Amino acid sequence: MKSMIRKLATGAAVLVCLGTAPAAFAQNKPHIGVAIPAATHGWAGGVVYWANRTKAELEKQYPGLKVTVKTAGSAAEQANQVQDLHTANKIDTLVILPFESAPLTQPVAQLKSKGVYVTVVDRGLTDASAQDAYVAGDNPGFGKVSAEYMAKALGGKGDVVVLRGIPTVIDNQRVDAFNAVMATHPGIKVLDAKHGNWNRDDAFKVMQDYLTRFKKIDAVWASDDDMAVGVQKAIDQAKRSDIKLVLGGAGSKEYIKKVMDGDKLVTADVTYSPSMIADAMKLTAAARVKGEKVAATTIIPSVLITKENAKQYYEPASPF
């Protein structure tokens, strides 16, 4: 049921596109390259799972359509893969979730200049003219919803630390929106914000540094469920009892279960499903088969998960 929110934004478009696509298929048999980060953390693991699952579904639905999925462990590797997808695999369509925004902008722009149709997912490029379509969660909404919940939970007063993700456009959007809400709460002080790179181990190190430098922390915006794992590990090891709230994000099954079970520190989460890669692939495939374009921008809302609605989003069979 976690996919319900996603479908509010894109489901209608998917159904419209997919409903009439087979009739036009004889004219268009696209080869879609899908470039995504490797499963370096839980959310990315979910992206890999959904990309491969959707590849099989699309190739079955549209005989003759081909989907090639590539995973990369770094921005440099992904930039090389993007080039290879065009020169070696002969793709005419690219769906890419950039490992990082800036290093992938020029490689993607080069493909677009050669006639490749480009759908960018999640981590936007630094130059929007390098893409034909953009599919993402509501990143400003993600930061806003998180900050509003945290401010309310703290009663408008307290000291907060922030863990940022990988340096990307979406990370900037989330943090800017979070800070904008906090600016309206003068009783809350953001002590520091450092990059934990959406990684448990990196987040553990960042949180250790915070715990050493700040003797009083009321709440942590981990901004990602994987980073929240590292944060909680550091808190447990330091035996700190001053922290009242750890707020992650993305809606992992582990953290939704914590919310459901009434965890002392984890009382809420915010949706940002890795299945958005599936939405982007389906929208792009349907449009390309018909020789049409995907909507320039598709945004999937971020929703607050609390104990009251957590069961709607809990999917124990999911890899994330």
pLDDT at 41: 77
Handedness of CA 226, 227, 232, 238 (dihedral sign): positive
Residue 276 near residue 121, CB atoms below 8 Å: yes
Return phi, psi of residue 271, to 5°.
-70, 145
CA pair distance 147, 48, nearest whole angstrom: 29
This prediction's pTM: 0.71
Q: What is the DSSP letter of 271?
A: B
For a pLDDT cut of 90, what percent of the chain falls above it? 81
Residue 25, pLDDT > 70, answer no
CA pair distance 223, 111, nearest whole angstrom: 32
pLDDT at 26: 39
What pLDDT, in 10s, does the model give residues 178-224? 999 999 999 999 999 999 999 999 999 999 999 999 999 999 999 99
What pLDDT, in 10s, does the model give residues 231-250? 999 999 999 999 999 999 99
Of the pLDDT bands very low, low, confident and very high (cuts 50, 70, 90), residue 10 is very low
Cβ count near 105 (within 10 Å):
22
**Run of H or E including 68:** strand 66-72
pLDDT at 40: 80
Reduced to 3 states (helix: H, G, I; strand: E, B; else coil), residue 26 is coil
Residue 250 near residue 223, CB atoms below 8 Å: no
What pLDDT, in 10s, does the model give residues 294-312? 999 999 899 999 999 999 9
What pLDDT, in 10s, does the model give residues 118-157? 999 988 899 999 999 999 899 999 999 999 999 999 999 9
pLDDT at 316: 83
CA pair distance 147, 153, nearest whole angstrom: 10
Residue 18, pLDDT > 80, answer no
pLDDT at 19: 36
What value does the mean pLDDT take over residues 284-303?
93
What pLDDT, in 10s, does the model give residues 66-91? 999 999 999 999 999 999 999 999 99
* Stronger pLDDT, 182 or 5, i.e. the higher one: 182
Of the pLDDT bands very low, low, confident and very high (cuts 50, 70, 90), residue 275 is confident
**Unique residue bearing structure tokens 């005989």:** 63
pLDDT at 31: 97
Across 105-147, the runs of DSSP E, i.e. the strands, are 117-121, 133-137
* Stronger pLDDT, 43 or 65, i.e. the higher one: 65
pLDDT at 124: 87
**Unique residue bearing structure tokens 């009739």:** 23
Residue 22, pLDDT > 80, answer no
Of the pLDDT bands very low, low, confident and very high (cuts 50, 70, 90), residue 1 is very low
What value does the mean pLDDT take over residues 271-288?
93
